[in-house]
Amino acid sequence: MAKDMAKKVQQLDQVVIRFAGDSGDGMQLTGDRFTSETAQLGNDISTLPNFPAEIRAPAGTLPGVSSFQIHFADTDILTPGDAPDVLVAMNPAALKANLSELPGGAQVIVNTDEFSRRNLARVGYPDNPLEDGTLDGYVVHPVALTSMTLGALAELDISKKDAERAKNMFALGMLSWLYSRPYESTIAFLERKFAKRPDLVAANIAAFKAGWNFGETTEDFAVRYEVKPARMPAGSYRNVTGNTALALGIVAARVRSGRPVVLGAYPITPASDILHELSKHKRFGVTTVQAEDEIAAVGVALGASYGGALGVTSTSGPGVALKGETISLAVALELPLVVIDVQRAGPSTGMPTKTEQADLNMALFGRHGEAPVAVIAPKSPVDCFYAALEAARIALTYRTPVLLLSDGYIANGSEPWLLPDVDELPDLRVEFATAPNGADGTTFLPYLRDPVTLARPWAIPGTPGLEHRIGGLEKADQTGDISYDPTNHDFMVRTRAARIEAIEVPDVEVEDPDGDAAVLVLGWGSTYGPIGAAVRALRQRGLPIAQAHLRHLNPFPGNLGAVLKRYEKVVIPEMNLGQLAHVIRGRYLVDAISYNQVRGLPFTAVELESMLEEVVKNA
């Protein structure tokens, strides 16, 4: 790298950058590397990857645009940002797909080499937007990314195709310089990633350095920016996505429970990364099985639980639909099972790479018969780790399936994670039945329940004297014999429901600093960040408003009814058509205000702020 030239350095408190290009331009890799550099520097971060469902969408077209947005700051932040301050557009399609979301005065860095007449026509630009005044309201930086990358690699023994592919590293180097990011980790990453192709190592590093040096020497960037590290609690941090955190939470559950973990999974967007991550942790007693379909996957998990392991299955909405019968079987067998649903836009195949919260009704009610299960939802990428531990606690303690509702927004998004002390994580050890429990001292009653948890004993197959039936037919109370008795069936149905209601969950906490708010905003899942940012903005403007967020959706926290009755108005924003709101209205007779969107994208803080301001002023 060349030495820094004397350019003015401007301090910023936060920045939102969006990298956008074809799905083959490496925008996700570029964003990931910029995020890693930023995390290493100590900023608080939040990211939003956005990409097509197709593996290789048509090049240069609007449906093929892939983007990665990162919000980083020197203070605590809650969302990946409503709109980018900087857009890096690798081609006309990337510009057109994202231009409407740019605020006036935003910086636009464009790869001028791709603005050919053919590429412009492909996305409906009659004239070149770099020349016809379309971008007059923005600060435009035209950069010949492709040709400068080719020039930087001209003396290397590498094909033109491979050289062109390195243009994302040129862009990364340029932005890393512009925002004073460290670069050593990226160089090391490239050396690892292309270790078997020294030519690609040399090409990508050369392109990265060329982009860095271009930022230093070009007159177009007269100012370099700096965002200082955030003030965060001391400790060791790592950048983590929601899917990775969820997988590591399952590993932690294995360690803290002392039980083997068996994941049965079938690859599906956006949950596949959980399978990929857990497959790396065999040394911790985690077994992963990539099954031939979703039904086989949940069968593997439930069979493992019968054998004394913690059975886990990960999927998305279409997979949960297929797993429904086996989940009902788990309800009847009363065995622990963790079902991870990383929600995506539906129905049917829907929009596989877009986010939604529309599986709540299926999680609560989507099984035949009266088959209640516990339902929880993490609120952020880091919270996925702790939600996985909580799902394991409930499943193991109460012998029940637990549906964990993540979604594509937090699954693919990332944020800094303060690594916990493993010894301080919950103790999840369970006691297995080892001896007969009947009054006669010789009989084993597999459905004789714990008086507090209502859970039945968990007996590992093969334990002498503890033989018992399993199967989907109704069980007789205590003995587990097949029973068609109407009174027994009524009792067992009510007891299974009571077992779910008996699950001990913490009270919901309410943020109402002055205690004088008339409006409560109630959220669940990934709406936490946008709701929190909107509420924070309203309070800064002097408007009283309260916020509460639900992790436990079945059973609800015991104090939820009392909390709801304290407020004149309750607003429930959801990325569905009002599923939680319907349940709240029916359960607590509260006329909740439902605010909904199903665009495949998370809420922005500004839209929630505007809506909530009207509610507060009319309260």
Q: Residue 251 region, left (φ>0) first, then alpha (ψ -120 to 50), else beta?
A: alpha
Q: Give DSSP secondary structure letters for 535-557.
A: HHHHHHTT---EEEEESEEESPP
Pairing of strands 569-574, 593-596: parallel
Q: Residue 577 region, left (φ>0) first, then alpha (ψ -120 to 50), else beta?
A: alpha
Measured CA to CA in angstroms, residue 108 lies from 355, 387, 531, 546 at distances of 27, 39, 29, 38
| Domain extents in the chain | 8-226, 238-424, 431-504, 510-618
Under 8 Å between Cβ of 297 and 315? yes
Q: Which CATH architecture has domain 8-226?
A: 3-Layer(aba) Sandwich (3.40)
Reported pTM:
0.95
Residue 486 burial (C-beta neighbours within 10 Å; 0-12, 13-18, 19+): exposed
CA 602 to chain centre: 11
Q: What is the pLDDT at residue 5?
A: 56
Q: Please list the ranges in the chain whose pLDDT falls under 50.
A: none
CATH assignment, 510-618: 3.40.50.920
Q: What is the pLDDT at residue 2?
A: 54
Q: What is the pLDDT at residue 3?
A: 53
CATH ID of 238-424, from 1.10.1740.10, 3.40.630.30, 3.40.50.970, 3.40.50.2300: 3.40.50.970
For residue 365, the number of C-alpha atoms closer than 13 Å in the C-beta half-sphere is 7
The secondary element (H helix, E strand) that includes residue 181 is none
Residue 305 burial (C-beta neighbours within 10 Å; 0-12, 13-18, 19+): buried
Q: What is the pLDDT at residue 23?
A: 87
Q: What is the pLDDT at residue 7?
A: 83
The rounded distance, in Å, linking the Cα atoms of 263 and 284 is 13
Q: What is the DSSP letter of 248?
A: H
The rounded distance, in Å, linking the Cα atoms of 380 and 407 is 10
CB atoms near residue 527 (< 10 Å): 26
Measured CA to CA in angstroms, residue 334 lies from 338, 400, 441, 447 at distances of 12, 5, 23, 9
Under 8 Å between Cβ of 393 and 433? no
Domains 238-424 and 510-618 share a fold: yes
Q: What is the pLDDT of residues 397-454, one digit of tens each?
A: 999 999 999 999 999 999 999 999 999 999 999 999 999 999 999 999 999 999 999 9
